[in-house]
Structure 1
Amino acid sequence: MLGQLGHILVGFVDNVMIGKLGAAPLAAVSLGNSLVMFALFLGIGFSFAITPLVAEADGEEDRTKGRQIFQHGLLMCGFIGVLLLLFLVFSKPILFYLDQPLAVVNLAMPYLNIIALSMLPMMLFQGLKQFADGLSLTKYAMYATIGANLINVLLNYLLIYGVWIFPRLEIEGAAIGTLISRIFLVSFLFIILFKKPKLKPYFVLMKKSLQKLIFKKLFHLGFPTALQMIFEGGIFTATVLLAGTLGTNAQAANQIALNLASMTFMIAVGLGVTATIRVGNQKGKKDYVSLKRIAYSIFIQVFTIMSFFALGFILLKDFLPSIYIDDIEVTQMASQLLIVAAIFQLSDGLQVTILGALRGMQDVWIPTLICFVAYWMIGFPISFFTGKADVFSSVGIWLGLLAGLTASAIMLFFRFNYLTKKMLTKTKHKAA
């Protein structure tokens, strides 16, 4: 959970420090990150394919298979990192055609130029992290993430405001801090994993040349997982763009509520990764009774945790936005959005955890279709039509999120029950 939360804490620090510069710079970071998050969702989705395959190999105690998956997966992540870098560089002009405030777009451009360079180290980190996760070694990525966040905080403070001998770079300073912290992130994790005696065999280069079959398996799992993340992340990106059509203050308020909701969501993502690892282990052992029991225990756990976050959002709805910015209008708008965010905490947490369990079972295509229907056939139309200035404005945008996340959680739960029942029935027939 802490390892996943670390990604968002980088954004939290950027938002809080940039928010002190005013609504326009905060909106610019929000707009720039809408493209960055779209790219990251795509890349991280592909990297998620590594975890269930390594977990399954670990359950089978097949180290050779695990090494092949790791090395092919890391190469895949590096290639995707280069593609994402190029995507951000060449897609920037799109922002001028999305009906966003021109001043905000102009501020976002230099920020994106620097953040684009961080895609390669970020994706290499993901490859290493998902490999370690598959072996249930989750604490090392957490250590790397904590260290990277401390570096990011320090560099942000020095470069955004121009403290001591450092120049005042404002938004560009935040981007430089993120870039350097991500280079540290991948370097630190690689050194830790490489020096672990029991992991040495995984870092011995394969004698065989690259195998198309392994890349195909990674793609088969990674591509639909990437689509799942794009479908879900895409609707959150859409809220940024829809909020931008309502003005700079609405976009800044949306960014505050989105950043807070993202932090609690990452706690659920951490439990989703737990579900992927533990379910993948049981699948490798063919112990489907334990698989279902473990998955249900994680679902109950995430529901309980997200209930506390929901209560916290309601009780602190007026205080939390004030951490980011001093603008009264922006904080009042953000506090309204946090009420909706409090309600969808439960469904958001459940849907990402159930997705993790299904990923551990290597069931990805039907869940991808479910995500598309929930977010883009149910959620987005509601956001689009109720999010207009003359309807429910920003709150209407978030009502669409609530509807999409709830629909996703319900449909994914039915899918998980169907598959586990099918597995258990098949096992009983074999035993008979």
Structure 2
Amino acid sequence: MNFSIYFKEFSYNIKLAYPVILGMLGHTLIGIVDNFMVGKLGSTELAAVSLGNSFIFIALSLGIGFSTAITPLVAEADAERDDQKIRTTFHHGLLLCTVLGVALFILTVLSKQIMYLMQQPKEVADLAAPYIDWVAFSLIPVIIYQGYKQFADGLAKTKYSMYAILLANVVHIFFNYVLIYGIWIFPKLGILGAALGTVISRIMMVVFMHYLMKKNSVMKKYFKNFSFKEIRKSILKKIIDLGLPSAMQMLFEVTLFTAAIWLSGSLGKNSQAANQIALILASSTFMVAMGLSVTAMIRVSHTKGINDYKKLIVVARSIFLLAIILETLFAIIFVVFHQFLPHLFLNMNDPSELLDNSEIIIITSKLLLVAAIFQISDGIQVVVLGALRGLQDVKIPMYITFVSYWIIGFPISYYLGKYTELKAVGIWIGLLAGLTAAALFLYIRFARLTRRLVIQNEKE
């Protein structure tokens, strides 16, 4: 195989991907800051934030997954130089994201009672309940933000979401610090302070994004003359037909990881806290693959718009290769530092927490060894999924992800976690199995589909 044709694409892939990656890391940083600051309060508080965020992640996955429908439609219209189609997609997409944000807020608040049915420690669930109420409200601005972001990504303007999320993080860190610990004139609110910090920062994120994009000379024309009279059922249906399967794909993966949190919680609060620390670290490196997935979606959509399917395959494979290289590097870092990294999240100077924290570190260090391996599978499946979304192929991948995560991955997690001595490590082995199956089946789907498209194009 001649790798040089793929290496040539790396610089443009990285140019598109790095703002998305930094933006994604900004999202993750909000979770890291919550965990870092709350972790200083104690292991019960850390487990409560972990449990609360598991509900938020489920709703957020639906919102993010749904909003990804906007990017390939905008990118394809951009390749066709159809400004009216771009503007229409943006307005319809933003309306749908707003409605979805409100619906997910209501559903998340109503679903929090499930915690008490899931064998979670009562003291953890009692702390998590008010935290969920506040952070659920932040789903409205964050999903509206996704509408803006996916539109900008479709035009290959990936830096705007990076700027907005980085500014939001500055706001988040400030309000978290003063509201969790009660600094200056602010009350000491504990984990509720972390929730309020998240709400304030996500509202500001939408404000920043709107302002930055509306001031841009290329994009400001798409903001003019919004009217409900222009809303068409046919365009709403087109976005929903693409967005709903994409939302389900993301939901299947996130709920698998959420099930891992709940399974860990049923083993005790220390297993749950260890799971959360390992998940935050693995999620941070996963954001690099997510950035490359968005790059795949943008570039594949654009190349599809000009009907160059041979180039499309080269572009997609170059992104797959880049993801494998980077995720392998992260895997090595996890193996080398697996005993050091857990210390960053825990207060080892508190004698009352020393016994719990020591156990958390032992469990987390083992989980990071499993995470090192599934970095690569996770990276491959998400970039191939991005390429398939770029081709507007979403229904078959939806079925593939369901089978991989819930027919293959979850039963292994459940059995090894509940019925063997592997416990938390067994849960993560199940995650590895599901992600590896998804990576394999999705790549087979992409290879077959693109081969068929090249043959059809040559016949025409």
TM bracket, shorter-chain basis: over 0.9
Structure 1 residue 391 displacement after superposition: 3.1
| Gap change, CA 1:157 and 1:206, over 3 Å in 2 | closer
Correspondence for 1:370 among 397, 400, 403: 400
Which residue of structure 2 aligns with residue 125 of structure 1?
Answer: 145
Correspondence for 1:174 among 194, 197, 213: 194
Correspondence for 2:99 among 71, 79, 83: 79
- Is 1:300 matched up with 2:321? yes
Correspondence for 1:314 among 329, 332, 335: 335
Secondary structure of the residue aligned to 2:418 is coil
Structure 1 residue 165 displacement after superposition: 2.1
Correspondence for 1:340 among 364, 370, 393: 370
Structure 1 residue 195 displacement after superposition: 1.2
Which residue of structure 2 aligns with residue 357 of structure 1?
Answer: 387
Which residue of structure 2 aligns with residue 281 of structure 1?
Answer: 302
Residue type of the alignment partner of 2:240: F
Instruction: Work out the CA distance in 2 between the residues paired with 1:328 and 1:322.
Output: 9
**8 Å Cα contact 1:246/1:389 also seen in 2:** no
**8 Å Cα contact 1:25/1:171 also seen in 2:** yes
Instruction: Work out the CA distance in 2 between the residues paired with 1:320 and 1:160.
Output: 24
Correspondence for 1:199 among 214, 219, 225: 219
Secondary structure of the residue aligned to 1:318 is coil
Structure 1 residue 332 displacement after superposition: 1.1
Which residue of structure 1 aligns with residue 275 of structure 2?
Answer: 254
Instruction: Work out the CA distance in 1 between the residues paired with 2:34 and 2:135.
Output: 12
Which residue of structure 2 aligns with residue 142 of structure 1?
Answer: 162
Correspondence for 2:424 among 370, 389, 394: 394
Residue type of the alignment partner of 2:128: A
Correspondence for 1:419 among 445, 449, 456: 449
Instruction: Work out the CA distance in 1 between the residues paired with 2:190 and 2:178.
Output: 10
Q: TM-score if structure 1 supplies the norm length? A: 0.98
How many residue pairs align between the two structures? 430
**8 Å Cα contact 1:58/1:281 also seen in 2:** yes
Instruction: Work out the CA distance in 2 between the residues paired with 1:198 and 1:120.
Output: 27
Q: Percent identity?
A: 53
Correspondence for 2:123 among 92, 103, 119: 103
> How do 1:150-229 residues align onto structure 2 when only pairs under 5 Å count?
150-205=170-225, 209-229=230-250
Instruction: Work out the CA distance in 2 between the residues paired with 1:282 and 1:213.
Output: 25
Correspondence for 1:42 among 62, 71, 80: 62
Which residue of structure 1 aligns with residue 440 of structure 2?
Answer: 410
Residue type of the alignment partner of 1:251: Q
Residue type of the alignment partner of 2:307: K
Which residue of structure 1 aligns with residue 311 of structure 2?
Answer: 290
Q: Could you give the per-residue CA deviations for residues 260-283 of structure 1, whole angstroms, max 9, x where no partner exists?
A: 111111110110000000000001
> How do 1:20-59 residues align onto structure 2 when only pairs under 5 Å count?
20-59=40-79
Structure 1 residue 389 displacement after superposition: 5.9
Instruction: Work out the CA distance in 1 between the residues paired with 2:214 and 2:235.
Output: 23
Q: TM-score if structure 2 supplies the norm length? A: 0.92
CA RMSD, 1 decimal: 0.9
Which residue of structure 2 aligns with residue 92 of structure 1?
Answer: 112
Q: Could you give the per-residue CA deviations for residues 211-231 of structure 1, whole angstroms, max 9, x where no partner exists?
A: 001110101100000000011
Secondary structure of the residue aligned to 1:167 is coil
Instruction: Work out the CA distance in 2 between the residues paired with 1:266 and 1:52.
Output: 20
Instruction: Work out the CA distance in 2 between the residues paired with 1:238 and 1:149.
Output: 28
Residue type of the alignment partner of 1:78: T
